Amino acid sequence: MAVDAVIVGLGYVGLPLAQEATRAGRKVLGFDIDEEVVASLNAGVSHVDDLSDDDIAEMLAGGFEATTDESRIAEASTAVICVPTPLSKEGGPDLRAVEAAVAGIARHLTAGMLVVLESTTYPGTTDEVVRPALEAGGLVAGRDFHLAFSPERIDPGNEKFGAKNTPKVVGGHTPACSDAAAEFYGAFVDTVVRAKGTREAETAKLLENTYRHINIALVNEMARFCHELDIDLWDVINAARSKPFGFQAFYPGPGVGGHCIPIDPNYLSHNVRARLGYPFRFVELAQEINSQMPAYVLSRAQDLLNEDAKALRGSTVLLLGVTYKPNIADQRESPAAPLARQLAAKGAVVQFHDPHVERWQSVPDAVKVDDAASAVAEADLTILVQNHREYDVDALAGAARLFFDTRGVSTEGERVSRL
List, by residue number, the catalytic residues: 260
Strand 316-320, strand 349-353: pairing? parallel
**Nearest-angstrom CA–CA distance, 268 and 184:** 28
**Nearest-angstrom CA–CA distance, 152 and 267:** 15
**Nearest-angstrom CA–CA distance, 177 and 216:** 36
Give me the helices (H) in 308-360, please.
336-345
DSSP code per residue over 41-89: HHTT---STT--HHHHHHHHHTT-EEE--GGGGGGBSEEEE----PBPT
**Nearest-angstrom CA–CA distance, 204 and 126:** 14
| Contacts by residues 158-162 (CB-CB < 8 Å, ≥ 24 positions apart) | 162/16, 162/20, 162/50
Element (H, E) at 193: strand 192-194
Asked if 372 and 394 touch (Cβ cutoff 8 Å), the reply is: no
